[in-house]
Every structure is written in structure tokens, then in C-alpha cells.
Amino acid sequence: MWALVAPTTPVALSWTVIAVIVVAAAALSIPRATWRWFGLVTTLVHELGHASAALLTGRVVRGIRIRADQSGEMLSAGVRGHVLSGIAGYPAPAIVGTLLMWAVTQGWQAPALAIIAVALVLSLLVIRNAVGLGIVVGSLAASVALLLFATPEWQAWSLLAVGLALLVGAWRGLGAVLAVHARRRDLQSSDAWLLARRTGIPSFVWLFVFIVVIAGSTALAAWTLASDLGVNPLVE
């Protein structure tokens, strides 16, 4: 068992490999046909971000629902932690994507897959609808298959592609919530609007927080890859 989840020597990456991975990530997260499905994974990560922050602040997670239109909800109860929980959703895909990319550059692709599998198994306790269950089971099956049958190279390449796709998904989600506020329609679907109602702090402040965290995660992911390729981002 330890051999399956132990760290390995980091997989060597080249510009060619990175280019192929970028194409694969774009294929997952940009075309409408594939985004229809991968967007559900991004929504799951979004809602698990809410749930993780809720648990860390002592709240009780009542349930998570993922809908086919890529919307979702996480219900929790408690007297505190609602602000951190509310903030955590939109940045979660970017943070997770960046962590996956960092794990690959450290040779931690197998431990990362094991952690993902455990998190998905635990999430089964709070999933409350069929679409959400299907996304969790499918993601769990893919994670376990990579862990059991893939070489370290394929594990690394797969996690890099998923990590990059999650970063794109985070920006797509941010664009969607910004569009909601620009149109002033369906505001109740916006975490920023909900946070504004709970705290009295205007929505644009929370939107700015989302932008900063997602942009920071993207910059860190780019730095991670550049450093692994032997490029010093501070040297022109």
C-alpha cells in the first residue's frame, strides 16, 4: 500500500510536455462540449471549498447538491464561520489546481491522488442528489484508477492537466459571477451578494477578494511550472 502512495522522484518536464498538457487542459475546460462535463467537476470543487471552510470553522455541513446546469449549493449550520465558508467557494478550484501542480513538481502525485480519493469518499457522506453522486463517483473512479494502474509519469501528466483545467474553471466561474453583478440579475446565486447581505460589506469588496486569490493562485502556478522548467521568473 505504501508503495502505491509514496512520493517519487519528480517527473522531468519539458516545454513540449507542458505544451501538450496545456492543450489537454484547454480541451477539458474551454470547448462547450467538454466544459459541460468538466464544469461539474469545478462546481464540485467549489462546493467542497465551502464545506471544508465550514468544517474548519466549526460549522456542521448538512449537504451538498450539484445540478446539471453547473450550479450547486452547500448547506451548513453554526453560529460562526459563515464568512470564511462563503469566501472559499470561487477560489477553491484555483487553489486546488495550484496545489496539484505543486505536488507534481515535488514528486507527490501519488499522495495527491490518495488525498483526493479520501476526500471524495468522505464527500459521499454529504452529497444529496444524483448528479452530485455521479460526479463524485466518477471522479473517485478516475483517481483510484490512476493510483492503481498509471505510471508516475501518467499520474503527473494527468494531475497537471486537471490542475490547469481547474485554474481555467476558476476564471470561468469568476467571469460568470462578475456577469451576474454586471447584469444585476440572479444575484441570489452569487456568493459575493450573499456575503454582502450577511456582513454589510459591499459585494464589490468580496468580488475583489475572489479576484486577488484566483490571480495569486494563477501566478503561483505559473511560477511553479517556470521554476520546474529551469526558468527564473525574475530574470528577463
Binned at pLDDT 50, 70 and 90, residue 232 comes out as low
Segments making up each domain of the chain, as ranges: 2-228
pLDDT per residue over 117-158, tens digit each?
999 999 999 999 999 999 999 999 999 999 999 999 999 999
Half-sphere exposure of 178 (CA within 13 A, CB side): 11
Question: Ramachandran region of residue 158, left (φ > 0), alpha (ψ -120 to 50) or beta?
Answer: alpha
22 residue type, one letter:
V
Spatial separation of the C-alpha atoms in residues 22 and 69, rounded to whole Å: 26
pTM over 0.85? The answer is yes
Query: What pLDDT, on the 0 to 100 scale, is given for residue 236?
Result: 47
